[in-house]
Amino acid sequence: MTLDEAAAVLAQLGNRSRLEILRLLVRAAPEGLTVGEIGERLALPPSTLAFHLRGLVSVGLIAQTREGRTVLCRPCFAALDQVAAFLKAECRCDGAASATDASTRDAA
């Protein structure tokens, strides 16, 4: 994943509604939810929901499949894994104590 690709993905996740949509779909995986179900659960108007779904689809965070007149949305875990790997790629923390361990140690 390039820096520009990661920036595009993270920009989409920087919006509360899009983050709520993705979290809802993660909870509904692997079956996914229809566009109508997403709108109902999050109380988003159809035009607003369509706008946010387009953004998530454009960066590959969700996939949509059409079944007749119904559009089903599912999270793309591979894309989430890629952005997480990108963020952790520069980490030199293998084998190091976690931040929680360090703060507990410092407080003692």
Question: CATH code at 47?
Answer: 1.10.10.10
Residue 71 lies in domain: 3-84
32-79, pLDDT tens digit by residue? 999 999 999 999 999 999 999 999 999 999 999 999 999 999 999 999
Domains contained in the chain, number: 1
Q: Which helix (H) or strand (E) covers residue 104, if one does? A: helix 99-107
pLDDT band at residue 105 using 50, 70 and 90 as cut-offs: very low
- Domain-located, residue 12: yes
What global pTM score does this model have?
0.82
- Domain-located, residue 24: yes
The pLDDT of residue 107 is 54
- Domain-located, residue 104: no
Instruction: Tell me 61's DSSP state.
Output: S
- Domain-located, residue 91: no
pLDDT above 80: residue 108? no
8-41, pLDDT tens digit by residue? 999 999 999 999 999 999 999 999 999 999 999 9
Integer Cα distance of 7 and 98 in angstroms:
26
- Domain-located, residue 46: yes
Q: Smallest Cα–Cα separation from 20: which of 28, 77, 79?
A: 28
